[in-house]
Amino acid sequence: DAKTTQPPSMDCAEGRAANLPCNHSTISGNEYVYWYRQIHSQGPQYIIHGLKNNETNEMASLIITEDRKSSTLILPHATLRDTAVYYCIVRMEYGNKLVFGAGTILRVKS
Amino acid sequence: NAGVMQNPRHLVRRRGQEARLRCSPMKGHSHVYWYRQLPEEGLKFMVYLQKENIIDESGMPKERFSAEFPKEGPSILRIQQVVRGDSAAYFCASSPPRGDTQYFGPGTRLTVL
């Protein structure tokens, strides 16, 4: 699975959009971009995933660049409860293990 | 639809004892994964199982650790003769057939005294 690079931490004002970047320059054609988050010490929570088209669900939007070498997770209206570590992971959709990096610590501030 | 269940949520063992961690996957899910998170560290894959089969155990320590997912009942992660270094949060995830998106349970926090 391709390696990902994320900033170690970001701050966001409550109510504003949080834009979390991820670089995955070695991604291959059959690999998907997955996003998970871990709030405090809870179990990781699935957010969204995509292959090449932009995706949106009730939690977030995923924007993948045309060359697929980077992506951005967007939380449209961040709340204090969105404070968490966000992980960007590249894997085949029907692959097995998830390889977690250090992720981005997002702090939402009032 | 209930999520992934793990029990116990907290487990305290003395050095040399055995620890058994249980994971019940989401309904309809036949694939189970175990991950470990040591204090102040990231999540690391341990093992991937389907019913009655171990598919990938590349992340399992060579000794004292074993996992099973029987035809009936939950998946079990077993740690024999626990040591202080086994203290960690152990997370289970499940996915439907064909290994699609993994959904995680709340974890079991193991403390070895």
Task: Check CB contact under 8 Å for B43 and A44.
Answer: yes
For residue B87, is pLDDT > 90? yes
Cβ of B42 and A42 within 8 Å?
A: no
> A 26-45 residues with CB below 8 A of B?
34, 36, 38, 41-45
- The per-residue pLDDT for range A5-19, each reduced to its tens digit, is 999 999 999 999 999
Q: How far apart are CA A17 and CA B47, in angstroms?
A: 37
Residue B1 has pLDDT above 60, yes or no: no
Distance CA B51, CA A103 (A): 31
Residues of A76-109 as b/e, b for ≥16 C-beta within 10 angstroms? eebeeebbbbbbbbbbeeebbbbbbeebbebebe
Judge whether residue B99 has pLDDT over 70. no
Find the mean pLDDT for residues B42-67.
94
Distance separating alpha carbons of residues B25 and B37, to the nearest angstrom? 19
CB A72 within 8 A of CB A22: yes
Average pLDDT, chain B: 94
pLDDT digits (tens, 9 = 90+) for B10-32: 999 999 999 999 999 999 899 99
Interface test with A, best of B21, B26, B30, B102 (most A CBs within 10 A): B102
pLDDT at B73: 93
Tally of CB atoms within 10 A around B49: 24
Position of tokens 């449209």?
Answer: A76
Does the beta-carbon distance from B106 to A42 stay under 8 Å? yes
What's the whole-number mean pLDDT along residues B55-83?
A: 96
- pLDDT, position B2: 75
Residues A34-83: tens digit of each pLDDT = 999 999 989 999 999 999 989 999 999 999 999 999 999 999 999 999 99
How confident is the model at residue B96, as a pLDDT?
Answer: 86
Q: Which helix (H) or strand (E) holds A103?
A: none
Residues in chain B closer than 8 A to A100 (CB atoms): 35, 42-44
Helix (H) or strand (E) holding A18: strand A18-23
pLDDT of residue A8: 97
Cβ contact, residue pair B33, A94, below 8 Å: no
Q: How many CB atoms lie within 10 A of CB B75?
A: 23
Do B104 and A44 make contact, defined as CB atoms within 8 angstroms?
yes
Measured between alpha carbons, how far is A77 from A88 in angstroms, rounded to an integer?
A: 20
